[in-house]
Amino acid sequence: MSANAYATLLTSDSYLPGALVLGRRLALLSSAPCSLVVLVSDNVSKSSRQLLAEVYDSVVLVPRIISKDIPNLHLLGRPDLEDTLTKCHLWNLPFSKVVYLDADVVPVQSLDLLFEEELGPGDVLAAPDSGWPDYFNSGVLVLKPHAATYDELINEAAKEGSSFDGGDQGLFNTVFPDWNRLSFCYNVTQQASSQYEYLPALLANASKVRAFHFIGSQKPWESRAFETCGYPDSSRPFYAAWWDTFDTHYFGERAAAVFTASSGVDTELPEGLLTTTVDKTLGEAWNLSLDKHVNEWDREETSGYTPGVLELNPPKELVEAYEVNDDKVEPEKQFPWDAHKVPATRYFPEDR
């Protein structure tokens, strides 16, 4: 086992697409000797865990920790984050250093440099939160697992009033008030382009962005059309990067399996789905089995013609059987007045 690890957390099947894309991008961008780890709670389905196991080195089952400060989550406008305190289990992992990323983060460049940061027990390295920069955003963290710190977090999480926002970010900022500052480029949170200074600063530092964080309730995997997802234009390249990664690895039956699992439906994955290497150039319908449409002249009883062979000139006898002499066939009457048509008596000059 490597001394270091990239890690994420999944407490809901609905975030499965995000966790899969995160793992794929970390594997693509990282060259450091490290493990990929995903913590999953017991309410995550078996099929989701199987799909995660294809990407991550370790799928670690952990108990959910439910917030004691639900009213604060409503104040935040995110009651769906009731179990994000489960993130406390990161401090119980058997690694020297962990770089944690939320499942809705899109790595843009390698984050391996974070493993070189010096950390002591109880130290946390994180980027400032754009909503209140005196606090850090807990979507990207560099931490050192430590038994005493883990016990402290578990004890605090069990207390009412321990998290000012009801989630992990409120708890962690309370427990780690002297956090170490990480550049905002390691956790660029999505914001409205109209927010003061955000767009000019993003454009000026575009080449330095290491990870982009789709904060908020709307996630990139919920809509393929950028225009319908409600994101500002500044998010477009990161949204495109997310879908490009997903489409590279998941299409056809594989994509269907991901979205079925993410909807909460726990079904058996098709046999061989996780072990089959697929060439993306085959397209989304590479493994569909459809009955061939058979034309009349394709049928076996037609002599002189082999079904399934492209032939631009069908057998002569078949053509003759379907020939119609237009001179001998009266056209079908379409309207009542068709039966009373008389030759035209007036002509336009150009018709003479």
Tens of pLDDT, residue by residue over 170-216, are: 899 999 999 999 999 999 998 866 677 788 899 899 999 999 999 98
Phi, psi values for residue 331, rounded to 5°: -65, 145
* Tokens describing residue 5: 């690890």
CA 13 to chain centre: 12
Tens of pLDDT, residue by residue over 259-270, are: 999 988 777 776
Say if residue 143's pLDDT is above 50. Answer: yes
What crossing angle do the helices spanning 46-53 and 16-29 adopt, rounded to 10°? 10
Say if residue 221's pLDDT is above 60. Answer: yes
Mean local confidence (pLDDT), 22-50: 95
The per-residue pLDDT for 310 is: 32
How many CA atoms within 13 Å lie on the side-chain side of 165? 21
Say if residue 27's pLDDT is above 60. Answer: yes
Dist. CA 312–CA 294, nearest whole Å: 15
Confidence of residue 343 (pLDDT cuts 50, 70, 90): low
Say if residue 51's pLDDT is above 60. Answer: yes
* Structural class in CATH, domain 4-282: alpha beta
The per-residue pLDDT for 309 is: 34
Domain boundaries, the chain: 4-282
Say if residue 308's pLDDT is above 50. Answer: no
Confidence of residue 279 (pLDDT cuts 50, 70, 90): very low
